[in-house]
Chains A and B, each alone.
Chain A
Amino acid sequence: MSALGQSLPRPDARDKVTGDARYPGDRFPPDVLFAFIVFTDQPHARITRLDTAAAEAAEGVVAVVTAADVPVNEYGLTMFDQPVLIGPTSSGRSAVPHDVSRWEADHLAVVIAETEEQARSAAALIESDWEALPLVADIDAALADGAPLVHPEHPAQSNAYHHLVITKGDVATAFERADVVIEGTYELPYQEHAYLQPEAGVAYVDEEGRITVEVAGQWTHEDQEQIAHALDLDLDAVRVIYPPIGGAFGGREDMSLQIVLALAVRKLNERGIDRPVRSQWSREESIVGHHKRHRGRVHTRWAATKDGVLLGVEATSHLDAGSYNYTSNKVLGNLHLTVAGPYEVPNAQLDSYAVYTNAVPGGAFRGFGGPQGCFVSETQMNRLAAALHLDPVEVRRRNVLGEGSIGITSTPLPAGVSLPEVIEECAIEADWEAPPRPPAAIGAFASLPPTTEASRRGRGFACAYKNIGFSFGFPERSVADIVLHGSDDADARPTSAELYLAGADVGQGAHLAFLQMAAEATGLDVEAITPGFSDTATSGDSGSASASRLSWMTGNAILGAAEEAEKAWRDGDRPARGHFRYTPPPTEMLDPDGRTPTTPNFAYGYVAEAVDLSVDVETGHIVVHDVVCAIDVGRIINPQQVTGQIEGAVIQAHGYCLSENLVVIDGRVMNPRFSGYLIPGIGDIPEQVRSVMLEIPDPRGPFGVRGMAEMPLMPYAPAIVGALYDATGVWFDSFPLTPPRVRAVLRAAGVGAS
């Protein structure tokens, strides 16, 4: 029986229901010290004096690490634009001035003490003097004439430091020929990851002398590289291990505790102290101290014929990258590719900018720019349908990308384009042709009886495409190792295997997916495979748990490793070893004017969603009755886990769209707690979420698999906005759709009591 397509139990489930799972904050090795990370608390200022003497003399303090202790005081996933520690003096090289704090959560020092309490009280004794620098609060401030530069050292010499262009056909003529033009300006909000496990970790020198960091991350080998770079060490002098990880969603793609914990161990080592160090952030430190889904603004115009066929798209997009790049340049690329929608667009002029400010950095978050682009494109498409009195599904049929379609970058999409089928399946499952449902009795408050008086009901539709894997020429690869064991007999088949992969299980169940694919590739049972996961000392680089890439990339690596091991087995090797480094077809970067045909990606995933909701036009409360998510997953590895990804992504999108309202003013997060930043609770979620999984194989995917974990998050917000229009006749161009906002927009449009 195939190991694929089965809901096998997760290997980590028992530990997770019994409390035996040891998350990074659950690790207390003997003799462990606590490292408290001191934030600068300065959104934009230059440090002129730092005095740690009193802190160092405080009770229980073992050492204080400052910028002067950092060999190479710079880091960053795609650009070295962030100092590890801010300080007036620095011992080492850096591409970025180390004496300027550009973010309230820049790190100033690491206080290492016997206990957490001692470390925290000693931190209060650190003295520093700051010279205020002009604050760049947001995109408007950053783009204003004469705006101060957040990074004067950047060659762009502009806060709008990264610019992508797509120029296709002749957009001016397209607008002249248009029967209808839809124009909109959309304000896109931040989103906080809110993984339940706040940042934590432990670091020590292992038995082979390596500085070892056990932490929750998304890419062991990138963490290793960033640590080695900042500490000026060889890669093999650094080891990164991932224990059970309490959620990630993109929020652990960049460094949090990784480098500072390694620095703490290094400093202790220099003083001849061989003791492990642990650290743990509070929820507040987590929300203040790590990046967010970007806020942004998009102005766009769409030209179409009276039949609803797109002629051209113009868009100018800005993302608030915040104080450091993180992955903003890459996130911008995804916005750029999705802002004109998954449609045949013959003429386009797209300009997208990442903008430095002194706000919290923007970075990776499930969908990676796709949710922002999709909100714009799908709201535009729904508005086009409304303007022409066309059905939202029908207007998509007339424009959607299909097999052989030329994409927005003027090249054909990779084979296996299944969005037309996905849209049809979604419409069927949602019973889209059925007449409108009557308003449901809803109530804003549990203490009041529900009524239909102010209730209006509506349905909305949206779809999306998203790349699988790293884009635009970024070096993609994934390494797997398989060792087959069994009898020396020449005719014998292997009876067991070892599987080595670094890919992170952030909770999505990647490790079980690896085991199921390895079982399928070797013909063994899952139970016969012994895993070695998420340790740089034993595994090659699997790349990041991001971009919906992990099953797709590691599956291809597993297939290669299994084939190599099988060859060795047939040659008589016992054990038989297979090592394989999979590289997908190459991708390309856009040229500066974006006119040259370019292949930015090697694979895509496709999704469509239909929602049915009621809104109380007096209070602005929304109840979502039904969500249908249709998605082509290529080949189902584990049905239960795929459904889990769909439902989880839909509910994260529900929060993004309806309740999650991160307030950042003058460089400061104003509501860094779960009491003020509201992720959906069980009482807030849709009444039902129905998953429709198509299995149209990706020709390049392992076993036909497509990536799928991000896609269901993308169409939800525009589908909700489409349904609100259906219910009330009013469009929303910003969210989250909190009751006060919904009520205010409806009132401004004359809906509800005046």
Chain B
Amino acid sequence: MEISVEVNGATHTSDVEPRTLLVHYIRDVVGLTGTNVGCDTSSCGACTIHVNGEAVKSCTMLAVQADGQSLTTIEGLANGDQMHPMQEAFMECHALQCGYCTPGMVMASISLLDENPNPTEAEVREGLEGNLCRCTGYHNIVKAVLSAAGGAK
């Protein structure tokens, strides 16, 4: 099937098989490898992207469902050298170690603040329940999100 998808502001038109997952389309067809695959069961959230501005695990959608939609991946956040405040906050707060969960975590965190610009610590924890990290123990991730929320005020 031919689909036309806006990815990070650029339109991509490609022929994909109907069963292709959106994450595989992003990685293999568009060639953006910042969106990671960590599991086979939609458990880990490493592949979280934004579809029309909302966080979605890109392994839970088919590529054909993204036809005509607008996607943002981790590569689309920075404006040249100017990083998104959430990216800055993850760096500042040491909210990453191996970094494999980081793109998904950052995308989910931005979506969280879009919905709730001033979350409590408990609300941050609740909002990131769909994303797994094996390295950090999560505490610095919570700090990063709270710090980005503070910085946005």
Chain A interface residues toward B at CB < 8 A: 7, 9-10, 12-23, 25-26, 28, 193-198, 244-247, 249, 282-284, 506-509, 640-641, 643-644, 647-652, 673-675, 679, 681-683, 685, 688-689
Q: Are A652 and B134 touching (Cβ within 8 A)?
A: yes
B101 to chain A, nearest CB (A): 5
Best-surrounded residue of B33, B96, B137, B142 (most CB of chain A within 10 A): B137
Mask, B97-133, CB within 8 Å of A = 1, is: 1111111001000000000000000000110111111
The answer for the CA separation of A644 and B96 in the assembled complex, in Å, is 9
B149 at the A/B interface (Cβ < 8 Å)? no
Contact with A along B46-74 (1 / 0, CB 8 A): 10000000000000000000000000011
For the complex with contacts A195-B134, A675-B43, A681-B131, 18 further pairs of A-B residues with Cβ separation under 8 Å are A16-B102, A17-B102, A18-B78, A20-B34, A20-B75, A23-B33, A196-B134, A245-B98, A246-B100, A247-B135, A283-B38, A506-B98, A507-B135, A644-B135, A644-B136, A648-B97, A674-B38, A682-B129
Q: Which of A17, A26, A651, A674 contacts B96 (CB 8 A)?
A: A17
B134 to A249, Cβ gap below 8 A?
Answer: yes
Interface of B is mostly: loop
Total interface residues on B, CB under 8 Å, equals: 50
Please, which residues of chain B bring their CB within 8 A of the CB of A674?
38-39, 41, 43-44, 132
The binding surface of chain A is classed by DSSP as loop
Residue interface mask B71-105, A partner, CB < 8 A = 1: 00111011000010001001100101111111100
Cα separation A689 to B137 with both chains bound (whole Å): 9
17 contacts between A and B (CB under 8 A): A17-B96, A18-B87, A19-B33, A19-B35, A22-B33, A23-B33, A25-B33, A28-B33, A195-B98, A197-B100, A246-B36, A507-B100, A647-B137, A673-B40, A681-B132, A685-B138, A689-B137
Q: Which residues of B contact A (CB under 8 A)?
A: 31-41, 43-44, 46, 73-75, 77-78, 83, 87, 90-91, 94, 96-103, 106, 125-126, 128-142
Pick the contact of B132: A10, A13, A196, A198 (CB < 8 A). A196
Kindly state the separation between the CA atoms of A643 and B135 in the bound complex, as whole angstroms.
12
Q: Is the CB of A507 within 8 A of B140?
A: no
A23 to B97, CA, bound (A): 13
| Least CB distance, B60 to chain A, in whole angstroms | 13
Q: Is the CB of B41 within 8 A of A675?
A: yes
B100 contacts which of A28, A247, A648, A681 (Cβ < 8 Å)?
Answer: A247
Q: Within 8 Å CB of B101, what residues of A?
A: 196
A640 touches B94 (CB 8 A): yes
Task: Give CA–CA (A249, B100) in the complex, Å.
Answer: 14
Task: Say how far A670's CB is from chain B's closest CB, in angstroms.
Answer: 15
Q: Are A682 and B142 in contact (CB under 8 A)?
A: yes
CA distance A17 to B100 in the complex (A): 9
CB distance from B10 to the nearest CB of A (A): 15
Q: How far is the CA of A640 from the CA of B97 in the complex (A)?
A: 11
Whether B135 pairs with A648 at a CB distance below 8 angstroms is yes
- Whether A18 contacts B94 in the complex (CB less than 8 A), given A650-B137, A675-B41, A682-B141, comes out as no
Contact check, B83 vs A18: say whether CB atoms are below 8 A apart. Answer: yes
Chain A hits for B126, CB < 8 A: 683
A196 to B135, CA, bound (A): 9
Task: Give the residues in chain A near B94, CB-CB below 8 Å.
Answer: 7, 10, 640-641, 643-644
With A17-B96, A18-B74, A683-B126: A196-B46 Cβ-Cβ less than 8 Å? yes
Most A-side CB within 10 Å, residue of B102, B128, B130: B102
Using Cβ atoms and an 8 Å threshold, which residues of chain B touch A9? Answer: 91
